[in-house]
Amino acid sequence: MRSRMQRGAALVVSLIMLVLITLMVITALNLGSSNFKAVSNSQFRDEAVAAANVAIEDRLSSNFDQDADADGNLPTTTHAVDLDNDGPDGRDYTVSVTPRCISASRDLPGEASSVELPPDLTIPSTWNTVWDIRSQVTNNDTGASIVIRSGARVLLNENARNSACPD
């Protein structure tokens, strides 16, 4: 009589163990999925910073001080950045770069000599300018977007300084 009562207990215990193992597997899958999302977001951020740096370097290497409006604001430029070199149709990121002049101070070079130079041989006045550069990076595959800000110091001549970074 005793053996008949124990047959049902083994079934109940095995079902409970099956449920517990299923819950552990589901929890492990959820943790793995969360870790994958965290790593993907970290990779996107690192790639976005790299794309922003490429676009900022491209913008700074051009005559970026031209085309300033009356207030000294420079236009926003858009750059297509391909980080994995998969060809012209594989542009990974679109970066909008907007530089804004923060300050300008006259560059004071040391005196080259005590000899007075004629006016046509004098060194033109140069200015140290400090820029706040805002870059909006958009992933072309996912549409994810991030804003990255950086600073730059640029040496400009008097005319460029007057147009791009007025007082």
Residue-wise pLDDT for 35-48, tens only, equals 888 888 888 888 88
pLDDT at 97: 92
* Distance (Å) of CA 53 to CA 50, 103, 136, 146: 5, 22, 11, 13
Least-confidence region, from 25-29, 103-107, 111-115, 125-129:
111-115
Whole-model pTM: value is: 0.66
pLDDT at 128: 84
Query: Mean pLDDT score of the chain, rounded to an integer?
Result: 80
The answer to whether the CB of 73 falls within 8 A of the CB of 43 is no
pLDDT in tens, 76-120: 888 888 887 776 666 788 999 998 888 888 876 655 555 565 555
Higher pLDDT: 63 or 7? It is: 63
Q: Residue 63: pLDDT above 90? A: no
Of 132, 158, 166, 157, the C-alpha closest to 147 is 132
| Distance of alpha carbon 11 from alpha carbon 143, whole angstroms | 52
Q: How many CB atoms lie within 10 A of CB 71?
A: 7
Type of residue at 153: R
- Cβ burial 122-156 (10 Å sphere, 16+ → b, else e): eeeebbebebebbbbbbbeeeeeebebeeeeebeb
| Distance of alpha carbon 107 from alpha carbon 157, whole angstroms | 10
Q: Residue 3: pLDDT above 80? A: no
Higher pLDDT: 89 or 140? It is: 140
